[in-house]
Amino acid sequence: PPLAGASPGALNPFDRRLKRKQKNWAALQAEPAKCDYLREEVGGRIADRVFDITRTFPLALDVGSGRGYIAQHLTKETVEKLVQVDIAENALKNAIESEIPTIKVVADEEFLPFKEDTFDLVVSSLRYVFIYFKFHALCVCVLQIHQVLKPDGVFIGAMFGGDTLYELRCSLQLAELEREGGFSPHVSPFTAVADLGHLLSRAGFNTLTVDTDEIQVNYPGLFEVMEDLQGKYILCMGESNCSWNRKPLLHRETMLAAAAIYQEMYGNSNGSVPATFQIYYMIGWKYHESQAKPAQRGSATVSFGDLAKIEGLLKRGKK
């Protein structure tokens, strides 16, 4: 299907065609190993969550796989076959080798081209970043994942959290307000953890788990943060800001002011500055009648009020 968000509009806050160009450009950059630390780290943590489930998945799907940051950490004993989907063909062409047999599909991850009840496992690492702006749009994407999962299948995903790069965003906003009398977003906005439970529930998942983690990287200063974000984490992940209202450049005076604010507000004792990446991990299962069900209300035989009596009962037992 044609790319969603091809023109500005109330329901399309992001430029999807630009997103494809960014991801294709990022996949062709030299020495990609230097650019992939964040996605490889999160991919490994998602794989750990897959290993925690004591079963073998005959067919799995990696949504927004990029160069295969999750696949490289998985084993044939856990996943027998993996389908990798990404909007950028260059990312799939330069995929990292994996011991798992893989099938590569170039498609817009917001329009999954698969039949219902196809996969036993769906994983996604740092893919759903820039569509958070409309909660309904993000819900539709997760709903598609729910549809392609088999009953009793599981979805394990990771997203950037709302506090990601808060040091950088705050410094840039304060500097622009001071020097230019207003500010524009320079990093794509992120979702809030309170939304994820509702998101998975509305899509039809049950037995939900949502947890958060942080990865902090230290830099000599703001200019090094910006360079690394542009050259490594953001562009090499294809996650540059693609909002329709993005500002094309920052003035030199504004950048110098932002660097001073960054150092003053967040600087470490050794002169470096931190950049924080907050990661939300979510797990949801597609309903199956074999899954454990919660007990009916009023069926309990012991009251929480009886917990206060346990200590006294234990003392009697010792006597």
Tens digit of pLDDT for each residue in 65-79?
A: 888 899 999 999 999
Asked if residue 269 is part of any domain, the answer here is no
Residue 241 token pair: 């800001």
State the CATH number of the domain containing residue 209. 3.40.50.150
Asked if residue 259 is part of any domain, the answer here is no
Asked if residue 211 is part of any domain, the answer here is yes
Angstrom distance (rounded) from CA 265 to CA 162: 19
Asked if residue 6 is part of any domain, the answer here is no
Q: What is the dihedral of CA 229, 240, 61, 108, to 10 degrees?
A: -160
User: How many domains does the chain fold into?
Assistant: 1
Choice among 85-89, 276-280, 305-309 with the minimum mean pLDDT:
305-309
Give pLDDT, residue 243: 46
Q: Is the CB of residue 187 less than 8 Å from the CB of residue 130?
A: no
Residue 93 token pair: 């062409």
Asked if residue 299 is part of any domain, the answer here is no
Residue 132, pLDDT > 70, answer: no
Helix (H, G, I), strand (E, B) or coil at 265: helix
Q: In this prediction, what percent of the chain has a pLDDT beyond 90?
A: 38
Q: Is the CB of residue 103 less than 8 Å from the CB of residue 81?
A: yes
CB atoms within 10 A of CB 290: 8
Asked if residue 153 is part of any domain, the answer here is yes
* Residue 88 backbone dihedrals phi, psi, to 5 degrees: -105, 115
Asked if residue 132 is part of any domain, the answer here is yes
Residue 197 structural domain: 16-164+189-218+274-289
